Structure 1
Amino acid sequence: MTRYPMAPADAAWLRMDRPTNLMVVTSVMWFDEVLDWTALRALIQHRMIDRFPRFRQRVVHEHGRYSWEDVEGFDLEEHLHHVRLAAPRGREQLQELTSGLVSVPLDHDRPLWDLYLVDGYGSGCAAVFRMHHAIADGIALARMLMSLTEDPEVEPVAVRAAEAAGDASSSPLADVVAHELLEALVHPQRLAALAARPGRVLDLARTALADAEALAQLTVMPADRQTALRGVAGVRKSVTWSPPVPLDSLRDAAHLSGTTVNDVLLAAVAGALRAHLVRRRSPVHDVRAIVPFNLRPLDQPLPAELGNKFGLVYVPLPLSTPDRHERLQEMARRTRRVKDSAQGLVAFGILELVGRAPQLVEDLAIDVFASKGTGVMTNVPGPRSPVTLAGTRLAGTIGWGPTSGDLALGVAMFSYAGTVTIGLCVDADLVPDVELLLADLLTELDALITPALAAP
């Protein structure tokens, strides 16, 4: 049976699995009408299984190395699970179902994904998709899921093979600096060409310096401040999500304040976390959000091998700023500083090195880097217009990437058809009042949006 080497970054996610924090991406889609499950099966086979081999391959671990191996006699039905919601079959029951699934490990003897077909959600149905992070990152998964739709305004995801083994497996520093310099040393004629371009040499030097500076910042960054949001993670998780928030109102608030939509959302999260800590009589300190960002160009087709291609940055949230409008301005200043940093690229390179290290070293590294933040916050762009899946209109969707180490908080934001849905996935013991936390977040958003609505 043919085997395919696993990229180091993907192997790192595979080995991060812990019973208290599984490295599984969970997405929920819901529909106001009943979906044709037979038609969906055909779409999954044609547009997912046939296009992306990882969904029909299992993980093999031999001689300290991880590989992907085709499953002989792959059976799609083994990955499809039909369930029915209990009465009254609303959003609360769907959230309870999803909360229970978040803590269920995937079977490593077969391809690392499952799809739950949920009957009886209101007047329609829902689907819960679970996929191990070793297969792909959240943005790649979102693009792949949206490629299942048949709407003309959503371009199907074209597939290309990786140009070389380990398409996303070399560090940004090696790609940008070391590769070009080594090529010049091996081939004297390229060295002469490089010497004739002093500007390029300076660019390479600046890149190396920026990466080294970002690496130093990450290394010396202390653990995040202790609050009620931090502790030893347990197995039980709770998820919830908001009603759709109009994207135009967020844009208006951002325009009025001279910030961005992302700044408004993060400022609302900071305000909600502040209210949460005050309610729990916890010390209120600024805390860091671990924010993934995409490194794969969105205008290029997904590779057939999928994989992980994203960086991580630590964004300090201004919880200690009591006034919400001042908090928004401070949030904007902090995100601007982070945007100018090479921190995310360096973090991707570190993840690849961790993927090559012994398990003990990886465990220590993950604990250290997870300790530098308090939660993971993602913002994934979806289709701008409504889409249909197997002939049925998608009413809404949300999804969470995993939290590593003992992190207890995941905040997800997904834009779709002119709205943004905000979802929370938390450790049920460390954050026991997730619905109150969501209510605080929506209160903060409303307060930031209202001045924009009142503006002439």
Structure 2
Amino acid sequence: MERMASVDAAWLRMEEPTNLMMITAVLWFDEHPDWERLKEVLRERLVERFPRFRQRLVVPEGLLAVPCWEEDPAFDLEAHLGHAVVPPPGDRDALEQLVSQWMSTPLERSRPLWQFHLVDGFGQGGALLVRIHHTIADGIALARVLLSLMDESAEEHFTPEPQPLESPSTPGWVKLLRGARAVASGTRAVWKRGAELIAEPIQVGDLVRGGARGAAALSRLALMPSDPPSVFRGELGTVKRAAWSDPIPLEEVKAMGRAMESTLNDVLLAALAGALRRYQEERGGTVEDLRAFIPVNLRPMDEPIPRELGNRFGLLFLDLPVREVEPRRRLRLLKQRMDELKRSPEAALTFGMLGMVGFAPLAVERAAVEVLASKGTLLMTNVPGPRHPMYLAGTKLAGLMFWVPQSGKVGLGVSIFSYAGKVTVGVSVDAGLVPDPHRLVIDFQDELRALASAASASATSSFPG
């Protein structure tokens, strides 16, 4: 039996019926995946490689009892694999309804906390619905795990691969990919040669600074007011809804950033702020500036994924300039605020706070989570994927979307995932607060168009409608 890390225990104890601590992903394919081959891939690359997928949760009784992991003596891979059917007409709306249903359904705690569903009836191909409890790992680690299941061709099957020596001049993205390639015990790549990441990750060293900067960040957290009431805040229910956009050409978004001296991430966040303004106006609510929780990976990306996985990330608190109407000014404000946060140790501080409350009495942890959750309105996650097509069990991956859980009274999550030259935006919402999540997605795309127009009045960008 293995004692659970305090941060992982914190995420376990945050779970409530109105906010399940579960990471959900959906992968879709133009052809139907081979079920038997998929099972063998999951056995070899998931279950045999990462022990957490064979272990069940044990929560002893007692005020000071510590949650633990233990090998499930009755572990059966088949019990974690299922089939689902998208109802007619089998389009994306129907798939979104199925994802929403499973997003609202808790995992069975008597066995390892994960489940894969092969989905039939979606278009001409199929889909794979993935649910994994947050206490197993954070979103970045699980994204790397999912990508480690894949190959670069339909015929390829992973084999151990020697690691090249690095020189001091080796580019950072190459080191990152080599670390991903070394998954667990030196086995094969998540992303191989030619793959690149589109995100600008915040370096761990930039987040763990002491002295006056650390004291200032701690003071900012302590004095930070709660986010104002808005159409996105209120009592949560147990029904969640998911929606996602058509793929957006990544190069067009990057071109906007270059034209306005901003990063790709700045552009996406500025479009999100504009979408939140549009949605508040459409719902007839008061337009308020809102604060977003931004997860920041604290695990070096040039190192292998640890076999025990776990959570190692902190949170940045980003004040979104939602009330600013003019797109270019909104982007400038957003960039200034994000640049300041990149130099802040805020993420490392929140990681330490979660570790401290992980084994505190439950009432203390819930009070701390409520205070923390009151500081923001939404969780925004940006996870990069490979630039080139990948194959799962011999079937080409057409697209992928994921959602991480919120906590406390936060009922809105926004996820961005890039893959094969496209970027997809997804939202997960509490159905009682945001009954029309597609409206948010449309507003986001409209704001990207407005930013494109601001970047170049003479050029037009063809974002999906």
> 1:102-157, CA deviations, whole angstroms, 9 ceiling, x for partnerless residues?
11111111100111110111000001100100000001001000000122798645
* CA–CA distance in structure 2, aligned partners of residues 439 and 14 of structure 1: 34
Counterpart check, 1:280 vs 2:305: no
Q: Cα distance 1:450–1:388, how it changes in 2: closer, same or farther (>3 A)?
A: farther
**For the Cα contact (< 8 Å) 2:182–2:303, is it kept in 1?**
no
* CA–CA distance in structure 1, aligned partners of residues 214 and 417 of structure 2: 30
The residue type equivalent to 1:26 in the other structure is T
Structure 2 match to 1:408: 411
Structure 1 match to 2:435: 432
Counterpart check, 1:53 vs 2:78: no
Counterpart check, 1:290 vs 2:293: yes
Structure 2 match to 1:147: 148
Deviation at residue 346 of structure 1 after TM alignment: 0.2
> 1:265-305, CA deviations, whole angstroms, 9 ceiling, x for partnerless residues?
11111111101111112111111000001111111100000
Percent identity between matched residues is 47
Q: What SS does the corresponding residue of 2:291 show, helix, strand or coil?
A: strand
The residue type equivalent to 1:101 in the other structure is W
Map 1:129-278; keep pairs closer than 5 Å. 129-151=130-152, 156-160=181-185, 207-278=210-281
Counterpart check, 1:307 vs 2:305: no
Map 1:92-103; keep pairs closer than 5 Å. 92-103=93-104
Decide which structure has greater helix share: 1
Map 1:82-97; keep pairs closer than 5 Å. 82-97=83-98
The residue type equivalent to 1:430 in the other structure is L
**For the Cα contact (< 8 Å) 1:9–1:352, is it kept in 2?**
yes
Structure 2 match to 1:22: 20
Counterpart check, 1:352 vs 2:377: no
- TM-score, normalized by length of structure 2? 0.86
**For the Cα contact (< 8 Å) 2:181–2:304, is it kept in 1?**
no
> 1:50-79, CA deviations, whole angstroms, 9 ceiling, x for partnerless residues?
000000101111241111000013100101
RMSD: 1.8
**For the Cα contact (< 8 Å) 2:327–2:454, is it kept in 1?**
no
Deviation at residue 449 of structure 1 after TM alignment: 2.3
Task: Structure 1: state its 5+ residue gaps.
Answer: 162-174, 177-203
Structure 2 match to 1:5: 3
1:44 to 42, 45, 49: 42
Q: What SS does the corresponding residue of 2:87 show, helix, strand or coil?
A: coil
Structure 2 match to 1:34: 32
Structure 2 match to 1:191: none
* CA–CA distance in structure 1, aligned partners of residues 231 and 459 of structure 2: 38
Deviation at residue 213 of structure 1 after TM alignment: 2.4
Q: What SS does the corresponding residue of 1:248 show, helix, strand or coil?
A: helix
Q: What SS does the corresponding residue of 1:87 show, helix, strand or coil?
A: coil
**For the Cα contact (< 8 Å) 2:227–2:291, is it kept in 1?**
yes
Q: What SS does the corresponding residue of 1:285 show, helix, strand or coil?
A: coil
**For the Cα contact (< 8 Å) 1:144–1:157, is it kept in 2?**
no
Structure 2 match to 1:109: 110
Deviation at residue 452 of structure 1 after TM alignment: 4.6
* CA–CA distance in structure 1, aligned partners of residues 358 and 146 of structure 2: 27
* CA–CA distance in structure 1, aligned partners of residues 365 and 389 of structure 2: 42
Deviation at residue 438 of structure 1 after TM alignment: 1.0
The residue type equivalent to 1:54 in the other structure is R
* CA–CA distance in structure 1, aligned partners of residues 350 and 16 of structure 2: 21
The residue type equivalent to 2:367 in the other structure is L
**How many pairs does the alignment contain?**
413
**For the Cα contact (< 8 Å) 1:312–1:348, is it kept in 2?**
yes
Structure 1 match to 2:171: none
* CA–CA distance in structure 1, aligned partners of residues 387 and 249 of structure 2: 12
The residue type equivalent to 2:125 in the other structure is G
Q: What SS does the corresponding residue of 1:59 show, helix, strand or coil?
A: strand
Single out whichever of 62-71 and 8-17 deviates more from structure 2. 62-71
Q: What SS does the corresponding residue of 1:225 show, helix, strand or coil?
A: coil
Deviation at residue 209 of structure 1 after TM alignment: 3.7
**For the Cα contact (< 8 Å) 1:31–1:392, is it kept in 2?**
yes
Structure 2 match to 1:192: none
> 1:311-335, CA deviations, whole angstroms, 9 ceiling, x for partnerless residues?
1001011011111221111111111
Structure 1 match to 2:126: 125
Q: What SS does the corresponding residue of 2:231 show, helix, strand or coil?
A: coil
**For the Cα contact (< 8 Å) 2:328–2:454, is it kept in 1?**
no
Single out whichever of 299-308 and 215-224 deviates more from structure 2. 215-224
Structure 1 match to 2:385: 382
Counterpart check, 1:399 vs 2:397: no
Structure 2 match to 1:72: 73
The residue type equivalent to 1:265 in the other structure is L
* CA–CA distance in structure 1, aligned partners of residues 27 and 453 of structure 2: 29
Deviation at residue 211 of structure 1 after TM alignment: 2.6
* CA–CA distance in structure 1, aligned partners of residues 212 and 106 of structure 2: 42
Q: What SS does the corresponding residue of 1:228 show, helix, strand or coil?
A: coil
Structure 1 match to 2:444: 441
Q: What SS does the corresponding residue of 2:67 show, helix, strand or coil?
A: strand
* CA–CA distance in structure 2, aligned partners of residues 435 and 295 of structure 1: 32
* CA–CA distance in structure 1, aligned partners of residues 67 and 313 of structure 2: 21
**For the Cα contact (< 8 Å) 2:382–2:416, is it kept in 1?**
yes
> 1:144-183, CA deviations, whole angstroms, 9 ceiling, x for partnerless residues?
000001227986452059xxxxxxxxxxxxx99xxxxxxx
**For the Cα contact (< 8 Å) 1:143–1:157, is it kept in 2?**
no
Larger Rg: 1
Deviation at residue 210 of structure 1 after TM alignment: 2.8
* CA–CA distance in structure 2, aligned partners of residues 208 and 307 of structure 1: 29
The residue type equivalent to 1:239 in the other structure is A
Deviation at residue 386 of structure 1 after TM alignment: 0.6
**For the Cα contact (< 8 Å) 1:383–1:415, is it kept in 2?**
yes
